């Protein structure tokens, strides 16, 4: 019984300490800020926008991309039209965007991106992967161009909320802030690759084209970061080996889910991808362990084994209650659990800006129990989620986020 108790404590303690160490590394790291002067040398970019049934927002997204502060002749906007209405496609064709209709029996983002790049005749220096609901900061390409000139060609931008208008959107915003701080800024501060998010990603064009030719399924961001961290693909393409660079002053605005049903669909997709690829790529994980590739081990093993933060919080809140009631019959002192809960809370609260506490914290806390209940329920309903595309619809066309400046 004592051994079981120790395991029940040691496993969550490892994840709490992992998060806290990366959180503190990010907190004390100097902020990286790129200069964005108009350079003499300018790279050519393509903005790839997979649009699956996004008729309501895709036109406004393209119009926003057309207004970026970058020479228009040096970047193309490519809309990958998957299951869009004919009227939407016709409206898009009246813009400066390149529209590539695609048809799949079973749609995935990876298939759409691979099909589009196969049809593009031009060559580019860099590719921006941006979801249909994403809006890019006006200087986004200027900053990416500067990063490319400095030698960074595998980049994750800072994704921030487009909207903070419902309790679930507030909770999702807080989750994004924490993830950016720990798993992106913190990872770079520890000398490791930033994790990627699935959008706001910028890569050497040849590299990303080759990567997506190898991906056929959902959870493409998980596979993409593992292929990069494995490092082999750089040698195959004759490119310099790079870790994933987190560029926190390049912003991409992302629509946050605003209701429980959308939250459940999104998290179901994430959970299924996390655990299915942990099993599928286990052999590569052992190879990385033997070779001492800590970048791969971090992104593959740690990030896929790690329980979702909401479930970890629920566990660390529930177990101390059990110990409070039955502590006289158990081995680990009650105060050990309280310390662990406090350290976990510190790793979650340190990244949050003060303005969030004054305006949004109470709403986030009120919606947290329901979100945790959804997450627990999803653990028993993951069957089929890893093989099917679960779509989350979007409808926000403007940025409404008072926290953007506070986050930085």
Task: Please tell me which residue, 325 or 264, carries the higher pLDDT value.
Answer: 325
* CB-count burial class (<10 Å; 0-12, 13-18, 19+) for 289: middle
pLDDT of residue 286: 74
For the stretch 230-287, pLDDT in tens is 999 999 999 999 999 999 999 999 998 766 666 666 666 666 666 666 667 677 777 7
pLDDT of residue 310: 87
pLDDT of residue 117: 96
pLDDT at 72 over 70: yes
* Cα 90–Cα 199–Cα 397 angle in degrees, nearest 5: 50
237 and 118 together in one domain = yes
pLDDT of residue 404: 75
- What is the rounded end-to-end Cα distance, in angstroms, of the chain? 47
Distance of CA 129 to the CA centre of its chain: 12
Percentage of the chain exceeding pLDDT 70:
85
251 and 279 together in one domain = no
Task: Please tell me which residue, 345 or 306, carries the higher pLDDT value.
Answer: 345
* 328 lies in some domain: yes
Query: How many structural domains is the chain composed of?
Result: 2
Query: Do residues 42 and 74 lie in contact, with contact meaning Cβ atoms separated by under 8 Å?
Result: yes
C-alpha pair distances (Å), 100 with each of 204, 254, 315: 21, 23, 47
List, in sequence order, every residue forming a beta bridge with 45; answer none if it has no partner. Answer: 75, 126
114 and 85 together in one domain = yes
CATH number of the domain residue 101 falls in: 3.90.550.10
Label the pairing between strands 245-254 and 135-136.
Answer: antiparallel
Q: What tokens were used for 133?
A: 């609901």
Kindly indicate the confidence band of residue 381, based on its pLDDT and cuts at 50, 70 and 90: low
235 and 380 together in one domain = no
* 369 lies in some domain: yes
DSSP 81-109: EES--HHHHHHHHTSSSEEEEE--SS--H
Query: Do residues 230 and 293 lie in contact, with contact meaning Cβ atoms separated by under 8 Å?
Result: yes
| Dist. CA 95–CA 63, nearest whole Å | 8
Domain end position, chosen among 258, 284, 306: 258
Most confident region among 54-68, 328-342, 383-397 by mean pLDDT: 54-68
* 339 lies in some domain: yes
| Dist. CA 347–CA 181, nearest whole Å | 10
Domain residues for 279?
Answer: 2-28+272-390
* 234 lies in some domain: yes
207 and 328 together in one domain = no
Give me the mean pLDDT over the 347-356 stretch.
92
176 and 136 together in one domain = yes
161 and 285 together in one domain = no
| Dist. CA 24–CA 407, nearest whole Å | 16
Kindly indicate the confidence band of residue 166, based on its pLDDT and cuts at 50, 70 and 90: confident
Phi, psi of 45 (to 5 degrees): -120, 155
pLDDT at 189 over 90: yes
pLDDT of residue 15: 96
30: left (phi over 0), alpha (psi -120 to 50) or beta: beta
* 36 lies in some domain: no
Residues in the chain: 408
pLDDT of residue 259: 67
Name the strand (E) or helix (H) holding 260: helix 260-280
99 and 203 together in one domain = yes
Average per-residue pLDDT in the chain?
Answer: 87
pLDDT at 387 over 60: no
pLDDT of residue 55: 93
* 175 lies in some domain: yes
Most confident region among 3-7, 206-210, 365-369 by mean pLDDT: 206-210
pLDDT of residue 377: 80
Domain end position, chosen among 223, 258, 293: 258
For the stretch 93-145, pLDDT in tens is 999 999 999 998 888 899 999 999 999 988 999 999 999 999 999 999 999 99
Q: Which long-range contacts (CB under 8 A, 24 or more apart) does 210-214 make?
A: 210/236, 210/237, 212/110, 212/113, 212/114, 212/117, 213/114
Task: Please tell me which residue, 328 or 98, carries the higher pLDDT value.
Answer: 98
18 and 55 together in one domain = no
80 and 168 together in one domain = yes
178 and 103 together in one domain = yes
Domain end position, chosen among 258, 287, 311: 258
pLDDT of residue 396: 67
* 283 lies in some domain: yes
Percentage of the chain exceeding pLDDT 90:
56
57 and 159 together in one domain = yes
Give me the mean pLDDT over the 62-86 stretch.
96
| Dist. CA 21–CA 346, nearest whole Å | 11
* 105 lies in some domain: yes
pLDDT of residue 388: 52
Kindly indicate the confidence band of residue 306, based on its pLDDT and cuts at 50, 70 and 90: confident
């Amino acid at each position: 019984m004592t051994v079981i108790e120790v395991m029940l404590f040691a496993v969550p303690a490892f994840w709490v300490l992992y998060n806290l160490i990366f959180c503190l590394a990010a907190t004390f790291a100097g902020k990286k800020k790129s200069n964005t002067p108009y350079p003499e040398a300018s790279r050519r970019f393509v903005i790839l926008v997979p649009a699956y049934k996004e008729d309501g927002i895709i036109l406004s997204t393209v119009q926003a991309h057309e207004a970026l502060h970058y020479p228009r002749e040096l970047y193309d906007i490519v809309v990958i039209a998957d299951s869009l209405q004919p009227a939407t496609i016709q409206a898009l064709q009246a813009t400066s965007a390149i529209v590539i209709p695609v048809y799949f029996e079973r749609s995935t983002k990876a298939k759409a991106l691979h099909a589009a790049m196969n049809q593009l005749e031009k060559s580019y220096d860099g590719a921006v992967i941006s979801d249909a609901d994403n809006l890019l900061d006006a200087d986004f390409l200027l900053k990416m161009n500067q990063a490319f000139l400095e030698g960074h060609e595998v980049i994750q931008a800072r994704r921030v909320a487009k909207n903070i208008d419902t309790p679930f959107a507030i909770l999702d915003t807080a989750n994004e802030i924490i993830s950016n701080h720990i798993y992106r800024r913190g990872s770079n501060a520890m000398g490791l690759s930033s994790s990627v998010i699935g959008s706001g990603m910028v890569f050497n064009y040849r590299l990303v084209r080759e990567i997506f030719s190898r991906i056929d399924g959902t959870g493409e961001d998980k596979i993409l970061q593992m292929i990069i961290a494995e490092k082999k693909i750089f040698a195959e393409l004759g490119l310099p080996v790079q870790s994933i660079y987190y560029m926190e002053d390049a912003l991409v605005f992302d629509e946050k889910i605003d209701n429980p049903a959308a939250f459940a669909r999104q998290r179901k997709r994430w959970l299924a991808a996390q655990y299915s690829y942990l099993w599928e790529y286990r052999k590569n994980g052992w190879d990385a362990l033997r070779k001492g590739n800590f970048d791969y081990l971090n992104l593959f093993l740690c990030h896929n084994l790690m329980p979702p933060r909401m479930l970890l919080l629920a566990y660390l809140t529930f177990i101390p209650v059990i110990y409070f009631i039955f502590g006289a019959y158990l081995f680990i002192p009650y105060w050990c659990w309280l310390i662990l809960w406090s350290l976990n809370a510190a790793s979650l609260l340190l990244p949050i800006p003060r303005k969030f506490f004054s305006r949004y914290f109470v709403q986030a806390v009120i919606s947290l129990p329901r979100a945790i209940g959804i997450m627990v329920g999803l653990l028993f309903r993951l069957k089929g989620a890893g093989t099917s595309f679960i779509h989350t619809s979007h409808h926000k066309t403007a940025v409404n986020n008072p926290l953007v400046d506070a986050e930085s």
